[in-house]
Amino acid sequence: MSDAYLITGSNELKGTVRVAGSKNAALYAVVASLLTSDEVILHNVPDIADIEELSDILRSLGTLVRRENKSLILQSKTIISTKPPGELVQKLRASFLVVGALLGRVGSAECAAPGGDVIGSRPLDIHLTGFRALGAEIEHDETNWIVSSSSPLSGASIFFDYPSVLATVNVLLAAVLANGVTIIVNAAAEPEVEMVANMLNQMGANISGQGTAHIKISGVHKLHGCDFTIIPDRLEAGTLLLSAIATRGEVLISNAVPEHLSSLTSKLLEMGAEVQMDVQSDDGDTGIHVSGATKLQSVALQAVPYPGFATDLHPPMASALTQVTGVSFIHERVYDNRTLYVSELRKMGAQITLGSSSSVLIEGPSQLRGTRVKALDIRAGAAVVVAALAAEGVTTLEDIFHLDRGYENLAGTLSSIGGKIERV
Ligand code: EPU
């Protein structure tokens, strides 16, 4: 049997905890290293399964990858393959980013459809539209997308039907070394996208507008190595803030960036929680301090692209809302299958019902009870952890390999602020 967490609930979380480097931003940065033959040094890289899997994908393409504590050192002197192994590609969605990077670096790539959480239909049309606009030809055999260009890629004006995060990064990676100027209109504005554009600029790219819906990429001939630090993980920080709220605890999340979390903190304030930004911690960093010891009220929210409420925080937010007074409403507008966690929370006694078009209604407060449940995807797993911390008795959480994909040593992190959680 695979590992499980045993979580004993009803302990208020208290203390200071430091947030790790961002999973998604680190994944994009690792792939960006493919664009230069020089060494790329990344700091603050979380020690999680997705980074391991992606490192193996890069190794199959010819990259030397080694970890030194929190740093990852990558060098892609020569690209020895443009076809990552399908069984690795299917382990995570970010694997498809190698297509943009290989197209930019050597003009072709052959890649299976990526895997990742089963949280919705997750098509690739926007990625492919972007590659085509830059002059690539696209074919599909039984298993692979074959993307290639016989002449150098040329900059283009591209309108995205939807501000897809990975499609924005994929087109960025393909366009930085293209001839001329590329404009992406309706680009994703997520901090992780902004960060990878900043990293590419440090490598010699000429990108502006990152962090907005309108990104301009002026192609350059060559990129060089860099020494770059990954931003803190706003989704881990959000999960910890919500764990504090659900247990009526009081926690300082050090190193969290307030601006990246304003959609969550504004909802926490609306619920009646005490939230303070830029609080100094003992280690000299600043962070977000939250207290859920006050009377908390229900709220309504929608999960939408950044800077709106993050879809990845919808499931743990739902768990926290089981502990507040009144009927809360969450409308999921990013994915059509984000609500897998609902069945698991119901087993624990949550009053939560599925409405139409991916919406959920949560009636609180409910006394949750520990039982045997599963992590059904990364964030559905996070939802159950938050619920279990608030519940009476012991929760056995199975299939925690999903959580290992995205949270660095979650049991250690929560234990350091008083959570009773043990890996078995
Ligand atoms: N979409 C399309 N066509 C496309 C691409 C996306 O219709 O070509 C649709 C999807 O079906 C979905 C919506 O656009 O309904 C949003 O998808 P998006 O492409 O923005 O998501 P993603 O780039 O595949 C990344 C993160 C997700 C996070 C989303 C939204 C990585 C590896 N994944 O996925 O993170 O939920 O952005 O912020 O960066 C997680 O960390 O647990 C996770 C799932």
Q: Is residue 308 in contact with ligand 1, taking CB distance under 6 Å?
A: no
Find the mean pLDDT for residues 390-403: 97
Distance (Å) from CA 34 to ligand 1 centroid: 22
Q: Is residue 260 in contact with ligand 1, taking CB distance under 6 Å?
A: no
**Residue identifier of the C-alpha nearest atom 27 of ligand 1:** 312
pLDDT in tens, 130-152: 999 999 999 999 889 999 998 99
Per-residue pLDDT band for 120 (boundaries 50, 70, 90) equals low
Token representation of residue 368: 């949750």
pLDDT in tens, 77-111: 999 999 999 999 999 999 999 999 999 999 999 99
Indicate the pairing of strand 157-159 with strand 181-185: parallel
Helix (H) or strand (E) holding 398: strand 394-398
Distance (Å) from CA 164 to ligand 1 centroid: 6
Q: Is residue 120 in contact with ligand 1, taking CB distance under 6 Å?
A: yes
Q: Is residue 402 in contact with ligand 1, taking CB distance under 6 Å?
A: no
The CA distance from 404 to 381, in Å, is 10
Q: Is residue 238 in contact with ligand 1, taking CB distance under 6 Å?
A: no
Contact assessment for residue 226 and residue 40, using Cβ atoms and an 8 Å cutoff: yes
H-type helices in 135-260, by residue range? 165-175, 191-202, 234-246
Q: Which of 165, 192, 306 to probe ligand 1 with, by most ligand atoms within 8 A of CB?
A: 165
Q: Which of 90, 193, 332, 334 to probe ligand 1 with, by most ligand atoms within 8 A of CB?
A: 334
- Close Cβ partners of 52 (under 8 Å, ≥ 6 residues apart): none
Q: Is residue 126 in contact with ligand 1, taking CB distance under 6 Å?
A: yes
Residue 142 is predicted with a pLDDT of: 85
Distance (Å) from CA 333 to ligand 1 centroid: 12
Residue 119 is predicted with a pLDDT of: 60
The burial class, CB within 10 Å (0-12 / 13-18 / 19+), for 255 is buried
Q: Is residue 94 in contact with ligand 1, taking CB distance under 6 Å?
A: yes
pLDDT in tens, 344-368: 999 999 999 998 878 999 999 999 9
Residue 116 is predicted with a pLDDT of: 72
For all residues of the chain together, what is the average pLDDT?
A: 96
Distance (Å) from CA 122 to ligand 1 centroid: 7
The CA distance from 73 to 96, in Å, is 21
3-state secondary structure of 407: coil
**Residue identifier of the C-alpha nearest atom 14 of ligand 1:** 164
Q: Is residue 75 in contact with ligand 1, taking CB distance under 6 Å?
A: no
Q: Which atom of ligand 1 is nearest to the CA of 188?
A: 20
**pTM of the model as a whole:** 0.97
**Residue identifier of the C-alpha nearest atom 17 of ligand 1:** 164
Q: Which atom of ligand 1 is nearest to the CA of 235?
A: 41
Find the mean pLDDT for residues 407-416: 96
Find the mean pLDDT for residues 380-409: 97
* Dihedral sign of CA atoms 18, 24, 25, 27 in order: positive
Q: Which atom of ligand 1 is nearest to the CA of 312?
A: 36
Residue 258 is predicted with a pLDDT of: 97
**Residue identifier of the C-alpha nearest atom 37 of ligand 1:** 165
Q: Which of 97, 121, 138, 166 to probe ligand 1 with, by most ligand atoms within 8 A of CB?
A: 166
pLDDT in tens, 216-250: 999 999 999 999 999 999 999 999 999 999 999 99
Q: Which atom of ligand 1 is nearest to the CA of 92?
A: 32
Q: Is residue 24 in contact with ligand 1, taking CB distance under 6 Å?
A: yes
Q: Is residue 46 in contact with ligand 1, taking CB distance under 6 Å?
A: no
**Residue identifier of the C-alpha nearest atom 2 of ligand 1:** 123
- Close Cβ partners of 412 (under 8 Å, ≥ 6 residues apart): none
